[in-house]
Amino acid sequence: MIWARAEGCRVTLADGRELLDLTGGFGVAALGHRNPRILEAWREQEVVHALGDLADAEVTVLLREALPRPAKLGVTGEDAVEIALRTALLATGRSGIVAFEGAYHGTGLLALAATGFERFREPFAAWLPGPVHRRPYGEDPGPLPEDAACVIVEPVQGRSGSRVPPDGFLEVLRRRCDEAGALLVVDSIYAGLGRVGEMWPGEEVADVLCVGKALGGGLPISAALFYRDGLEDVWQLGPEDVYTHTHVGNPLACAAARIVLEEVPKLLDRVRTVGERFEHAGWWGRGLLRARDGDWEDALACGVLVVPAGDGSLIQATPPLTITDAELEEAFEKLG
């Protein structure tokens, strides 16, 4: 499938087919494709590339100030997870990770080790770091293993099919981490920035909270936010940053992120309302992180773009948070 144009909630393919987009580009286009404010912000930038850890553009500094907590910026979502897990290693001196069945944290080796999808892990099993202790999602993991540096958890599991844990699950994890002196890493890369109707889901319990996807309005940028006071200090490891990337803090991505942080809070009520309409139409999940049984190719044939999820028997909807009532009706009608 080749995209030729994307605007708002609609995509035109290179072969001329017009689709209603319920993917939002895997949840990235929270404010809709080609959002005019974001396009304008990109045009205005006078520095357009990053310079690793050597220099920040002014807009990168402004973004850091707009984030609710001190943060270490990354490029991809997986990168924010890597920062969070390394923070746990640095803070505790331990290397064990407690992660959950059905979790998706990205495909770099460290994030992949924590990911619960066997088909992603298996080809690289010989190289995966660990130990990783896997537990059923939504259940009390029990006392943590002695080597546990952290627990990593999605507040709602995204890729495995919008799985919402029982109430109180995150609080149980908080208690288990406190008992064991381990960090609680909340991976809100999919669920965060409005997707489930909250800006920072899990912020009440997290030591480190990861966001990505929607943050850059379409450009790659992520962040690991340090909710435990002083945690950022574990990264004072010498004169240079020993975990960095050439493109980290890219000014165009930061300019978009400032707009995302301004605009998404205005949409949270709307996300919850539209989420209820998905619920009534038989989609489970929370906010606009939704899934149901189905085949994504059947949906495509009806002119609606959705993402395959879980073991492939589910379809997932993560539309722009700006989806209109008319677009919603059209999607439900076409999908049947």
Residues that bind ligand PLP (CB under 6 A): 76-78, 81, 104-106, 154, 158-159, 187, 189-190, 212
Q: Least distance from C-beta 78 to ligand PLP, angstroms?
A: 3
User: Which residue of the chain is nearest ligand PLP when measured via CB?
Assistant: 77
Of the two residues 104 and 227, which places its CB atom closer to ligand PLP in the complex? 104
Q: Which residue, 169 or 328, has its beta carbon nearer to ligand PLP?
A: 169
Minimum distance from residue 236 beta carbon to ligand PLP (Å): 26
Comparing CB distances to ligand PLP, the nearer of 77 and 251 is: 77
Q: How far is 105 from 184, CA to CA, in rounded Å?
A: 15
Nearer to ligand PLP, 73 or 180 (CB): 73
CB-based burial, 89-107: b 16+ in 10 Å, e otherwise: bbbbebbbbbbbbbbbbbe
Nearer CB in complex with ligand PLP: 78/327 = 78
Q: Please report, to the nearest 10 degrees, the dihedral formed by the alpha carbons of residues 70, 73, 79, 84 taken in order.
A: -10
Closest separation between CB of residue 192 and ligand PLP, Å? 9
C-alpha to C-alpha distances, 182 to 91, 97, 129, nearest whole angstrom: 9, 9, 18
- What is the nearest approach in angstroms of ligand PLP to the Cβ of residue 239? 29
Q: Considering beta carbons, is residue 76 or 322 the nearer one to ligand PLP?
A: 76
For 66-118, the three-class secondary structure string (H helix, E strand, C coil) is: HCCCCEEEECCHHHHHHHHHHHHHHHHCCCEEEEECCCCCCCCHHHHHHCCCH
Q: Which H/E stretch holds residue 292? A: strand 289-293
Residue placing its CB nearer to ligand PLP in the complex, 158 or 217: 158
Tell me the C-alpha distance between 216 and 81, whole Å.
16
Q: Which is nearer to ligand PLP, 180 or 189 (CB)?
A: 189
Nearest approach, Cβ of residue 65 and ligand PLP (Å): 24
Q: How far is the CB of 135 from ligand PLP (least distance, A)?
A: 17
Helix, strand, coil percent content, the chain, rounded in steps of 5: 35, 20, 40
> For residue 335, what are the CA distances in angstroms to 33, 277, 292, 320?
22, 14, 11, 18
In this structure, which long-range contacts are made by residues 115-119, counting pairs with CB atoms below 8 Å and at least 24 apart in sequence? 116/160, 117/159, 117/160
Q: Please, what is the minimum distance in Å from the beta carbon of residue 105 to ligand PLP?
A: 5
Tokens of 239: 């004169």
Q: How far is the CB of 201 from ligand PLP (least distance, A)?
A: 11
Four-point Cα dihedral 307, 311, 314, 319, nearest 10: -30
